[in-house]
Structure 1
Amino acid sequence: MKKTSGRLADGREIVYYDLSDDAVRTAVDRRPMPATEALSQIRHDPLLDEWIGVTAHRNARTYHPPADECPLCPSREGRMSEIPEPDYDVAVFENRFPSFHGAPGKEETEDSAGLFRHAPGAGRCEVVSFTSDHQASFADLDEEQARLVLDVWTDRTADLSRSPGVEQVYCFENRGEEIGVTLSHPHGQIYGYPFTTPRTVRMLRSVAEHAAKAGGNLFDDLVAAERAAQERVVIEGEHWTAFVPYAAHWPYEVHLYPRSRVPDLLALGEEARAEFPRIYLELLRRFDRLFGERESRTPYIAAWHQAPFPGGSADSPVDSSVDGDPRLAARDEFALHLELFTIRRAPGKLKFLAGSESGMNVFINDVPPEAAAQRLREVAS
């Protein structure tokens, strides 16, 4: 893998990742663009003890452009895109409309009771274009290309984990207009959060409680139990296990774990890396076969869950030093895994987050996990 870094016209970084060591990246972005101005803030919700982002500038982001104006396609004569080169393997660049951006700053309180707390929305958000082919999807990549994307996710995790204020790195892909995607070109995103996300905090708390009550590691015990039960296992490789979880939230949801527990992509061994493309591409292709040819591109979210970095940066505005805070649990207790799910529950029917899910965070799943796993086994290649 060859890595080449450059700058876009407004100062944002762009990084090319090429399969060939002979690749040369010299194209210059000549668009007349002002410097990026992102006004990100995070605010604390005292009832839920969660941080949320406030990002008014994102209202102006690109929305469903025509195919010939796609900002992720290579640039060509007369039409410059976000990617100046005429072709590429994988390109990563700073999001023009980031949810989190810039250097950390001090947390401030707006009221005497300390209920209204805010801080700069520090961090970094990146776009990862998986291929220059506008008509493709991740499932269309070959194993060599998919391995390159895995290596890109790993390299970006390493870089972002060293960024001031970043406490957790999240690599993910949204696919399909039903999910809310505004660009149809095959791509994903990476967020460098200035705090540990609420979902991860809950996982770490559950891991700590399980260790106190039963001993052992909760992630290990869950994966072992699913492998022993077998009825929800979708794919078993030598180094990966994919299964529909016993209490799946979504109609079709698969969790993919490496056999050897590691906290993040940086710690993933070479044998697991080598096997990942075959397993993951097969999962994506099964998702595309779930609902027949008429709906051959199933909308989905694919999300890597990685351990936060202890305490984040020394400049982090969010206090992670509270005694007993689950974010301070040993990183090696967390298990790297990927969660893949679709909001489609049947041909032509979507699973909407309505009153129970959105209002109370209580999911109601119309598809029994065992039935979902059976269906995913039936559509194997």
Structure 2
Amino acid sequence: MSRIRQTSDLLADGREIVYFDDPGTPARERRADSRALDPRPQTPTMRFDALSAEWVTVATARQGRVHLPPAEFDPLAPQSPTNPSEIPDDYDVAVFENRSPSFGPGTAADDQPALAVEAPIALGAARPAIGRCEVVCFSPDHAGSFGTQSTLRARTVVEAWAERTRALSAVPGIAQVFPFENRGVEIGVTLHHPHGQIYGYPYVPQRIRRICQSVEAYGQGLFADLLDSEATGPRVLIAGEHFTAFVPFAARWPVEVQLMAHRHVPDLAETTDAERDELAVLTLRIARALDALYDAPLPYIAGWLQAPVGRHRDDVRLTWQVTSPRRAADKLKFLAGSEAAMGAWVADISPEDGAARLRDAIAKADEARPVEPLATTGAADA
């Protein structure tokens, strides 16, 4: 979408900030960041767990990050004379490097080679946690979430996800790009401002490694066959032209949705304008439906499963996955003994019942606040 303008600048401590302007937003010069900031923290350390073959990042600088500040000191609002926030100027969507990152600011270009996709089985192995962590602000408003945005704004957010996936995939040492949104204090969010994050990992995380192993065992038709098996089943929520949303056959969480691409596309950067247009509409409809399930906003984690950088591009198909621990209006699912200690899941709600509840919520949300198609907002170039 050529009318989504993208401009870059640097914050006072050298971190990059990228503005994405909605179509129709006038071009103007951005204010510079005039704050006096402390130097950026040292790159954290990763330690290797030889029993699980997983890397664990020890990022102690994150202990001091801002925790649920009042609206007048919102660090993601545009800067004002009384609020020296992280974003110097007004904006539509803004993406900037996290001040307290789990990975980075060091990259492989500094003094470390890229980490191999396969983790070594070694006792006491440790490496700098190179990579990149970014914050994605969906709106300058203090309150809300992705689901409260307009269709036009959702399309700008999709563009930001796609373009930052492209940019981070080119950063030396990054092996996996993961855009996601944490929503709700039950999930552990520290800021109420509508925002998400993007992690550029120096390794391929376990979730994606397991998917690649499953494709290797089944064959490269796994995603296509899985989608075909769901497309006519009782768990379909929305069937679009380019994507289908469904509750997985073996859903673990009380609320779980997957939005899967019809064609094989490895990541957001490889999507077409038409696919991005549809993603803006479908993700917004699902996000609004989540809040229609109960009388209170639903806590959730929404993240993009993408192929690793440079490898397994034909194995992993782009999928948006949403999960919530809320199993009733006043109850949460906690990961207790079996799930937390053994990774053996017990589902409290059948996937078929969960799908029926979500279809009702989609209908309710569509009636209460219909998602306008991009054509009526004037956002589409085609």
TM, length-normalised to structure 1:
0.89
Residue 209 of structure 1 corresponds to: 217
Letter in 2 for 1:333: D
CA contact (8 A) 2:114 2:174 kept: no
Instruction: Mark the runs of 5 or more structure 1 residues left unpaired by the alignment.
Output: 311-327
1:301 paired with 2:301, answer: yes
For residue 286 of structure 2, give the secondary structure of its aligned residue in structure 1. helix
Amino acid at match of 2:75: P
- Asked if the contact 2:33/2:88 (under 8 Å) is kept, the reply is yes
1:303 deviation in Å? 0.5
Aligned equivalent of 1:341: 323
> How do 1:153-192 residues align onto structure 2 when only pairs under 5 Å count?
153-192=161-200
Structure-to-structure mapping, 1:229-378, within 5 angstroms? 230-291=233-294, 293=295, 295=296, 297-310=297-310, 328-329=311-312, 331-378=313-360
Q: Aligned equivalents of 1:57 and 1:374: distance in 2?
A: 44
1:104-123 matches, cutoff 5 A: 104=108, 105=112, 114-123=122-131
1:79, CA displacement in angstroms?
A: 2.0
Pick aligned residue for 1:103 from 104, 107, 110: 107
**Which runs of at least 4 in structure 1 moved beyond 4 Å after TM superposition?**
none
Q: Counterpart of 1:316?
A: none
Question: Which digits, 9 at most, give the CA deviation of each residue in 1:245-278, with x for residues without a partner?
Answer: 0100100100001211211112112222121122
Aligned to 1:322: none
Q: Work out whether 1:39 is the aligned partner of 2:49.
A: no
Q: Distance in 2 between matches of 1:15 and 1:204?
A: 32
Aligned-pair CA distance for 1:114 = 4.2
Amino acid at match of 1:50: E
TM-score (norm 2): 0.89
Q: Percent identity?
A: 46
Alpha-carbon distance, 1:21 to partner? 6.2
Partners of 1:114 and 1:107 lie apart in 2 by 18
Matches of 1:89 and 1:332 in 2, distance apart?
34
Q: Deviations over 1:325-359 (max 9, x none)?
A: xxx54x12210101011111100111111111110
Question: How far has the Cα of 1:78 moved from its partner?
Answer: 2.7
Displacement of 1:172: 0.2
1:55 and 2:59 aligned: yes
The Cα of 1:70 is off from its aligned counterpart by 0.6
Given that residues 38 and 97 in structure 1 are in contact (C-alpha distance below 8 angstroms), is that contact kept between their aligned partners in structure 2? Answer: no
Select 2:86's aligned residue among 82, 85, 97: 82
Q: For 1:106 and 1:259, locate their aligned partners in 2 and report how far apart those are by CA, in whole Å.
A: 36
Q: Deviations over 1:159-217 (max 9, x none)?
A: 11111110110000000000000000000000000001111000000001001xxxx51
Task: Return the letter of the residue paired with 1:298.
Answer: L
Query: d(CA) in 2 for partners of 1:75 and 1:25?
Result: 15
- Residue aligned with 1:333, SS: coil
